[in-house]
């Protein structure tokens, strides 16, 4: 095997397979000091392809432009991953270099991304440009559908559905089946179906200590967990693989706000932060948690909240940028909450909802206003399912005070920046006098017990 491309764009685990690397096929290019432009290097590649089986790893765009591949003989097979996200010109490069091809992808997720098309959404959606609506024959400024989708629909006899999945636990898989796949997905093993977060207390052992333990740290952790609000306990419960935090109870503070051409929801950012801090306190690595939203403006709000409130190790991404990735825990902020019950256009694309719901391996937490987001058919179906399964956790009116992040404080902070240093100092004095219940990472450490009743279907765990 050999991996072609710029070192800066190649994963560090694959760099040894690059030209000049210790594991590159047959020591290829070693005598050329890694040069990928010399005629001798091209001759070596050509000879290697002819002499023995060779796997060349390269991006789709580079496959059509790489100088070495131009001079190499044709390949037997081109295997193209994430083909559902590629526009036709991008995917043609590798296909033209092989006698046959295999496209791997999912056209039930987001279509190709284009930064050159005319915008067709009046809101700030995720990604670096605009996504197409996937409908061919419509001149609405959207990019054309992928070759993958075209061929799937034109030649269904050539399609091989991969029904076994090895990412999602059973309940998260059920969400995907309800939303898109009509029950077709199956867990690849019992271990996958039973997957759940392993939450520790204060970073200790994975056992569940007794509250009567003589260890002061264990007792403090157990006490802190018992003192945590019930809604947060329910959201953190590792047996609840899917949780919908419903915000009508704090609707007066959880409204969306327009910023430029996008929307943000500071209250939802606060709730996401509380769950993130709880997971971190339970021993989940920040690299295994991601906070996502369909709005770039909300992603910026989440990133700011994470920096200010002790969960900066958790990455914040748009739904579009999260496609193709997965994490142990995904915290999804739906953002929209308003008196007119307008859900906005980014949420109306069921493929975006599908991507958002299928990034999690063990834990999916959705934060949103059911009345507003439930106006979208796909989301209405998910809210109804969550109600049936007992996955909905109602967020009470006092929740924002419990996590010590209030929309009013955020607004006061912004006003202080405008009015100058003196006003900022005055605001700081007021904040010091204000008594609130502060929930920190240490406070949220818990002993792994007293989770309450199991979901109704827990006894059926691992049936797959």
The single residue listed with the structure tokens 């307008």 is 342
Per-residue pLDDT tens digits for 83-116: 999 999 999 999 998 999 999 999 999 888 765 5
**129 contacts: CB under 8 Å, gap ≥ 6:** 113, 114, 115, 116, 117
Mean pLDDT of the residues in the chain:
76
DSSP characters for 242-279?
Answer: EEEEE-GGGTTT---EEETTEEE-HHHHHHHHHHHHHH
Q: What is the pLDDT of residues 359-373, one digit of tens each?
A: 999 999 999 999 999
Cβ atoms of residues 184 and 163 within 8 Å: yes
Assigned token pair, 235? 């959201």
Predicted confidence (pLDDT) per residue in 220-240, tens digit: 444 555 567 999 999 999 999
pLDDT at 132: 43
User: In terms of DSSP bridges, do strands 289-293 and 315-318 run parallel, antiparallel, or are they unpaired?
Assistant: parallel
Q: What is the pLDDT of residues 389-421, one digit of tens each?
A: 999 999 998 888 877 543 344 344 444 443 444
- What is the C-alpha separation between 323 and 127, in angstroms, rounded? 10
Distance CA 390, CA 244 (A): 9
Rounded Cα distance between 12 and 15, Å, is 5
Q: What is the mean pLDDT of residues 26-44?
A: 51
Give dist(CA 126, CA 349) in Å, integer: 12
- pLDDT tier at 343, thresholds 50, 70, 90: very high
**For position 143, what pLDDT does the model report?**
54
Q: Which residues pair with 368 in a beta bridge?
A: 246
For 175-185, what is each residue's pLDDT tens digit? 999 999 999 99
What is the structure's pLDDT at 404? 57
Rounded-to-5 percentages of helix, strand, coil across the chain: 40, 15, 45
Grouping H, G, I as helix, E, B as strand and the rest as coil, residue 5 is coil
Higher pLDDT, 455 or 99: 99
- Residue 458's pLDDT is what? 34
Q: What is the pLDDT of residue 47?
A: 61
Asked if 265 contacts 255 with a C-beta cutoff of 8 angstroms, the reply is yes
Whether 422 shows a pLDDT value over 60: the answer reads no
Distance CA 447, CA 282 (A): 9
List the one residue out of 371, 364, 370 whose CA is nearest residue 319.
Answer: 364
Quick check: 140 and 133 in contact, CB under 8 A?
A: yes
How many Cβ atoms sit within 10 Å of the Cβ of residue 203? 13
296 within 8 A of 125, measured Cβ to Cβ: yes
User: According to the model, what pLDDT value does residue 52 have?
Assistant: 63
Stretch 21-45: mean pLDDT: 58
Name the pTM for this structure.
0.75
Least confident of 119-123, 192-196, 435-439: 435-439
pLDDT in tens, 138-152: 334 555 689 999 999
At residue 352, the 3 state secondary structure works out as: helix
Cα three-residue angle 126-131-137, rounded to 5 degrees: 165
Give Cα 125 distance to the centre of its chain: 15
């Amino acid at each position: 095997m050999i991996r072609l491309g710029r070192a800066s764009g190649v994963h560090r685990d694959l760099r040894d397979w690059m030209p000049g690397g210790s594991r590159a096929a047959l020591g290829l290019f070693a005598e050329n000091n890694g040069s990928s432009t010399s005629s001798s290097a091209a001759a070596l590649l050509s000879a290697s392809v002819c002499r023995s089986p060779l796997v060349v790893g390269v991006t789709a765009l580079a496959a059509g432009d790489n100088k070495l591949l131009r001079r190499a003989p044709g390949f037997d097979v081109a295997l193209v991953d994430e083909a559902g996200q590629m526009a036709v010109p991008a995917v043609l490069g590798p296909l033209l270099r092989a006698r046959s091809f295999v496209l791997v992808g999912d056209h039930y997720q987001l279509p190709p991304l284009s930064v050159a098309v005319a915008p067709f959404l009046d809101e700030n959606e995720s990604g670096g440009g605009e996504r197409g609506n996937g409908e061919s024959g419509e001149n609405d400024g959207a990019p054309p559908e992928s070759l993958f989708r075209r061929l799937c629909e034109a030649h269904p006899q050539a399609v091989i559905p991969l029904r076994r999945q090895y990412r999602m636990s059973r309940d998260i898989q059920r969400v995907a089946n309800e939303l898109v796949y009509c029950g077709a997905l199956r867990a690849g093993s019992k271990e996958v179906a039973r997957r759940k977060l392993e939450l520790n207390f204060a970073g200790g052992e994975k056992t569940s200590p007794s509250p009567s333990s003589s260890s002061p740290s264990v007792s403090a952790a157990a006490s802190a967990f018992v003192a945590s609000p019930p809604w947060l306990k329910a959201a953190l419960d590792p047996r609840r693989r899917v949780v919908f935090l419903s915000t009508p109870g704090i609707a007066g503070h959880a409204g969306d706000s327009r910023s430029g051409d996008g929307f943000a929801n500071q209250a939802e950012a606060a709730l996401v932060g509380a769950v993130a801090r709880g997971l971190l306190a339970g021993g989940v690595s920040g690299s295994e948690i991601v906070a996502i939203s369909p709005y770039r403006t909300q992603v910026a709000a989440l990133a700011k909240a994470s920096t200010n409130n002790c969960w900066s190790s958790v990455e914040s991404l748009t739904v579009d940028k999260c496609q193709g990735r997965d994490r142990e825990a995904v915290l999804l902020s739906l953002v929209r909450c308003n008196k007119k019950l307008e859900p906005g256009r980014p949420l109306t694309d069921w493929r975006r909802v599908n991507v958002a719901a299928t990034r999690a391996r063990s834990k999916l937490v959705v934060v949103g206003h059911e009345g507003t987001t439930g106006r979208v058919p796909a989301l209405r179906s998910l809210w109804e399912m969550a109600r049936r399964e007992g996955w909905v956790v109602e967020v009470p009116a006092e929740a924002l005070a419990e996590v010590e992040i209030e929309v009013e404080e955020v607004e006061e902070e912004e006003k202080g920046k405008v009015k100058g240093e003196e006003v900022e100092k005055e605001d700081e004095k007021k904040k010091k006098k204000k008594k609130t219940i502060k929930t920190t990472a240490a406070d949220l450490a818990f002993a792994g017990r007293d989770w309450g009743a199991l979901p109704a279907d827990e006894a059926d765990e691992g049936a797959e």
